[in-house]
């Protein structure tokens, strides 16, 4: 059975998870970080090579200031504290997005975490931060224009995306039952299999990841072609 090489996840439902328990939304994000840790370990033990998690979109800055502040505190905590354990497991961290908008202290933690894990050969963990696929494609065109590339090919464009050098996602999972892409990896998911699960992100487990993979394995991927019947 083929294992997806690259799994991408839209982690959704932290707010609803907290609301169901009459807790502030930030409690959902806190639990969401615990789920990140669990799922990174699970993906790594299952043999997945690339895991991309959508943590903060270019649109998320529109949230209340207090929620953004709490997300930044969690991000800093994740980058400074949790990364040590993931480093021991061989995880290599890459951040996808326009990182210039983050505060200096977060930029420092981002650099430290990436430097710490850059020589690791285990799971490639991409965390999308201040990420928007349209912004990603636009910045790729800006860079290509600067370099005088007037006729880009698909592979040239791919090489200017944040996921440069990595295979496109085979499987895209979205939690919390919403059927939306939300400006995530628009170029890279052209042929990804999409799996929507009702579970809210804080409740998503290794078993749920395995179910998504089993479902993926039952799909017939044709990449726009046809599957020829045996004569
Ligand atoms: C969606 O829940 C969740 C996010 C905003 C992204 C995921 C963020 C985390 C798991 C925590 C922070 C991440 C890091 C790397 C420190 P929502 O708030 O949109 O939920 P709702 O749709 O139920 O309101």
Residue tagged 């504290």 (tokens): 81
Q: Residue 171: is its pLDDT beyond 80? A: yes
Alpha helices in the chain (DSSP H): 14-20, 25-46, 65-77, 83-88, 104-117, 133-146, 154-158, 206-217
Query: Is the model's pLDDT at 18 over the cut of 70?
Result: yes
> Each residue of 67-85: pLDDT tens digit?
999 999 999 999 999 999 9
Average pLDDT over residues 209-227: 91
- Any atom of ligand 1 within 6 Å of the Cβ of 94: no
Please state the atom number of ligand 1 nearest to the C-alpha of residue 30: 11
Model pLDDT for residues 135-158, shown as the tens digit of each residue: 999 999 999 999 999 999 999 999
Tell me if 125 CB under 6 Å of ligand 1.
Answer: no
Phi/psi for 226 (5° steps) reads -125, 155
The tens digit of pLDDT for each residue in 48-71 reads 999 999 999 999 999 999 999 999
Q: What is the pLDDT of residue 231?
A: 53
Distance 223 CA to ligand 1 centre (A): 31
> Which protein residue has the closest C-alpha to ligand 1 atom 1?
12
Q: Can you give the residue ranges of every domain in the chain?
A: 6-133+169-217
Share of the chain above pLDDT 70, in %: 99
pTM of the model: 0.96
Locate the ligand 1 atom nearest the alpha carbon of residue 129 and give its number: 15
CA of 20 to the centre of ligand 1 (A): 15
Active site residues: 12, 60
Is the pLDDT at 126 greater than 80? The verdict is yes
Q: Give the pLDDT score at 130.
A: 98
CATH architecture for the domain at 6-133+169-217: 3-Layer(aba) Sandwich (3.40)
What is the CA(153)–ligand 1 centre distance, in A?
Answer: 35
Burial of 199 (0-12, 13-18, 19+ CB in 10 A): middle
220 Cα: distance to centroid of ligand 1 (angstroms): 31
């Amino acid at each position: 059975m083929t294992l997806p090489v690259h799994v991408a996840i839209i982690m959704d439902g932290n707010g609803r998870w907290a609301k169901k328990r009459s807790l502030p939304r930030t409690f959902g994000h806190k639990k969401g970080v615990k789920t990140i840790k669990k799922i990174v370990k699970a993906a790594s033990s299952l043999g997945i090579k690339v895991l991309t998690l959508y943590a903060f979109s270019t649109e998320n800055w529109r949230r209340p200031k207090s929620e953004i502040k709490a997300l930044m505190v969690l991000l800093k905590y994740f980058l400074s504290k949790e990364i040590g354990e993931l480093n021991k497991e061989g995880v290599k961290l890459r951040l996808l997005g326009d990182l210039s908008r983050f505060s200096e202290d977060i930029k420092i933690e981002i650099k430290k975490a990436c430097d710490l894990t850059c020589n690791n050969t285990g799971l490639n963990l991409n965390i999308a931060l201040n990420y928007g696929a349209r912004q990603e494609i636009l910045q790729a065109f800006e860079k290509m224009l600067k370099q005088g590339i007037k006729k880009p090919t698909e592979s040239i464009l791919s090489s200017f995306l944040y996921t440069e050098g990595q295979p496109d996602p085979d499987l895209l999972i979205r939690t919390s039952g919403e059927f939306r892409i939300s400006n995530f990896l628009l170029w890279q998911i052209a042929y990804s299999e999409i799996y929507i699960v009702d579970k809210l992100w804080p409740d998503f487990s290794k078993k749920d990841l395995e179910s998504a993979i089993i479902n993926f394995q039952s799909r017939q991927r044709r990449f726009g072609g046809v599957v020829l019947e045996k004569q």
